[in-house]
Structure 1
């Protein structure tokens, strides 16, 4: 079996695990367990909390003591074991800690999967820039297949979704031990201080006003991503309570409808080079923010009947909203930081979006929805919820236009961006 095929399997399973429950956990929480919306917001903050410290910590372990592919496998086996215990939890407070433990094991595998793949490709003399993107796209496909699997099996509201994810985690955990060795590179870190190893040196770039502004907006948009992940599937499920929409395709297979968002991601990736060269990073990031406004606004007025086109269009727009900020934002960091701290600066970018941004978006949205948009019977005013989220994204976009200062330099785009990158 070729190394490319072996890494394709790795990428597919890596995101299949996440896709099996990430989008549908809301339906399980609200419609099966009937737990509080405020507490649910905290559930989605777990991936942010884990992202703040675990990737760096596990990176040190892989750099100094343990083969990356073995550490990667162990983390997936532990994560699979935790996923198996989730259906046994009957208290929402305990549920938070169990999900957090699962995220502690899962989130560092995102970075380790890249490290293992890069190492394996280089060991075979292959070009990482050319050969990795076609491999990574199978991760998005794995996420989509997982969503379709859960939806077609009608287990979106069932604890069985966690067993599906656990099964994939166990398979990947065992499979990882068969991958090419990725030994510790202690020689690269032995002369570094703890501050440098942890990537804390990159915080020095925040002294630059432009970079500080950029990272603050990264944090705010990181919160927007969690809003759509946490509540999109639940929103579609709630239409089942309306007799006019019972039995519609959207209500029967909401995860499949939501998977259009991930399909859109793979398409918008291909458009990024054109937009970056034509408009520049600031404009592309602004397009992303306006796309978030449309994403939420279309949800506010959409329905499974005559408004189905709005829901589908919202899912299509999601590809621009997600990709245009995450990929162009990563490129901005690449072009604006010194080579010696680029890796840690990218880590800081991920910390702001998937770490602090995720915690902010999940926690605050849960409280706001519970206190302002949920009645005594537990019914949610989805129209008001999505309009509030749209207003949030619009305010960010307006502030971004006036506060963030950056001049587009086409020649810099040409020299640093020649291949489309792939986001998670």
Structure 2
């Protein structure tokens, strides 16, 4: 891969995840302070990510893979997304906001697959080359948080009070417009499916991979993957409002520590996987969920602020050791025939169904512990996902029989 193409792909990844990190992290705080949204309404807004994940396979499988170059549809989706982002910035109530965010996430979630498709199409050895391109996405997410907290101070107490978080949508709209235009200059990535070749609904949704559920071990992993998304939803939906409410300085920037830790734990994963095996690796990820939420429950912005920082930094361990390990396990169980279908099914089940349930549960629990003065009993809120994650871990320990899983990159 020549330097020009590497630069193009790296910039594409940077903008793709700058866009996501530029508004999604602080969304909960924006909804509560700018739109006076309840936790239940916030759950609806965050659930649009799940609806986007559910609908994305149709856009990719039935449209992008059959009729259009990936880079062109990527450009169109981001240009339309820029318009929707601009509209979100101008809303003053949740009723007007929701259709825009739903439309946006239905358009954005397919772009996650499209940027990968564009990148992989230019690589001779993705196993070696992709990480050097994808890391710029993580950098983009982190820089978005630094801009919001450190440069513009939109998430400061004064900024939140004055409604400045609406500027995150304007910033994202500009970035989305830039990526939309830039996408048309990316290397050509033609449709994967030849003209005349039939693509069934089963192919698009990866339903052929349902045969894997006959394997008891894979079934237990599948159920655990869906269930662990419930505590994951608590993190996405509640962490920023929680940090803002307890008075932690620069919360958006500090939440970017979670993305930075992803890079660290991704580097540690091969060694841990090889030394301890799949079951212990995934259990370490599950245990980290419980530890993280207990740190949130009993930490504060004063003397125990370090507990909140550690809880955020555990995101890499939580995510990489569970979800990335799970992708490796799914890949080995599926084999060549069902490999793509199995990954698609897991994504649909977790980011689609699992997170959809999780956001609803998070909204119900958060509203339950809303206090008369408008604050929340965060200790009770965070104990719930901590105990839930512990329950999933115990379920997995008892019902998943240890088996050898080879990590090819280890």
Asked if Structure 1 and Structure 2 have the same fold, meaning a TM-score greater than 0.5 normalized by the shorter chain, the answer is yes
CA distance in 2, matches of 1:352, 1:285: 18
Residue of 223, 235, 246 corresponding to 1:228: 235
Cα distance 1:134–1:32, how it changes in 2: closer, same or farther (>3 A)? same
User: Is this contact kept in 1: 2:62–2:199, CA < 8 A?
Assistant: no
Is the Cα–Cα contact under 8 Å of residues 205 and 345 in structure 2 kept in the other structure?
Answer: no
State the SS of the aligned residue for 1:111: helix
Separation of aligned partners in 1, 2:408 and 2:230: 27
Q: Is the 8 A contact 2:69 2:190 kept in 1?
A: yes
**1:177-227 alpha-carbon deviations (Å, 9 max, x no partner):** 001111113229815544224422222222332222211111111222221
Match in the other structure for 1:54: 56
2: distance between equivalents of 1:174 and 1:203?
Answer: 39
Structure 1 match to 2:133: 135
Q: Could you tell me how far apart the structure 2 residues matched to 1:37 and 1:212 are?
A: 32
1:238 corresponds to 2:236 = no
Which of 7, 28, 35 lines up with 2:9 in the alignment? 7
Q: Which of 215, 230, 233 is equivalent to 1:208?
A: 215
- For 2:83, the equivalent position in structure 1 comes to 81
Tell me if the contact between 1:83 and 1:163 (Cα under 8 Å) persists in the aligned partners.
yes
SS in 2 for 1:178: coil
Aligned to 2:122: 120
Which range moved further: 307-316 or 11-20? 307-316
Superposition pairs of residues 331-410 of structure 1, within 5 angstroms: 331-371=328-368, 373-407=369-403, 409=404
CA contact (8 A) 2:209 2:334 kept: no
Equivalent residues, number: 399
Q: What secondary structure sits across from 2:37 in the alignment?
A: coil
Aligned residue number for residue 417 of structure 1: 408
Q: How does 1:308-323 map to 2 (within 5 A)?
A: 308-323=305-320
Aligned-partner Cα distance in 2 for 1:406–1:349: 20
Partner Cα distance (1:217, 1:300) in 2: 23
* 1:144 and 2:146 matched: no
C-alpha contact 2:370 2:376 (8 A) present in aligned 1 = yes
Alignment of structure 1 residues 267-306 onto 2, 5 Å: 267-306=264-303
Distance in 2 between residues matched to 1:197 and 1:301, nearest whole Å: 44
> 1:265/1:10 Cα in 2 relative to 1: closer, same or farther (>3 Å)?
same
Q: CA deviation at 1:59?
A: 3.0
The aligned residue for residue 154 of structure 1 is 153
Q: 1:166 maps to what in 2?
A: 173
The alpha-carbon distance between structure 1 residues 138 and 38, as it changes in their structure 2 partners (threshold 3 A), is same
Query: Mean Cα displacement is larger for which, 11-20 or 96-105?
Result: 96-105
Q: Counterparts of 1:7 and 1:73 in 2: how far apart (Å)? A: 14
Q: Which residue of 2 aligns with 1:246?
A: none
CA RMSD, aligned part only? 1.6
Alpha-carbon displacement from aligned partner over 1:79-106 (angstroms, at most 9, x marks no partner)? 1111111122233233222211110010
| Unmatched tracts of structure 2, length 5 or more | none
Contact residue 82 and residue 172 of structure 2 kept, 8 A: yes
2:206 is the alignment partner of 1:199 = yes
Counterpart-to-counterpart distance in 2, 1:128 and 1:379 = 48
Looking at structure 1, the residues matched to 409 and 119 of structure 2 have their Cα atoms a distance apart, in angstroms, of 20
Distance 1:36 1:260 in 2: 27
SS at match of 2:219: helix
Give the whole-Å Cα distance in 2 for the aligned partners of 1:263 and 1:63.
33
CA distance in 1, matches of 2:389, 2:205: 32
Task: Check whether the contact 1:55–1:111 (CA below 8 A) recurs between aligned residues.
Answer: no
2-structure distance, mates of 1:357, 1:193: 24
Counterpart selection for 1:260 from 257, 262, 265 = 257
Q: 1:56 to 1:324 in 2, by over 3 A?
A: farther
8 Å CA contact 1:57–1:198 kept in 2: the answer is no
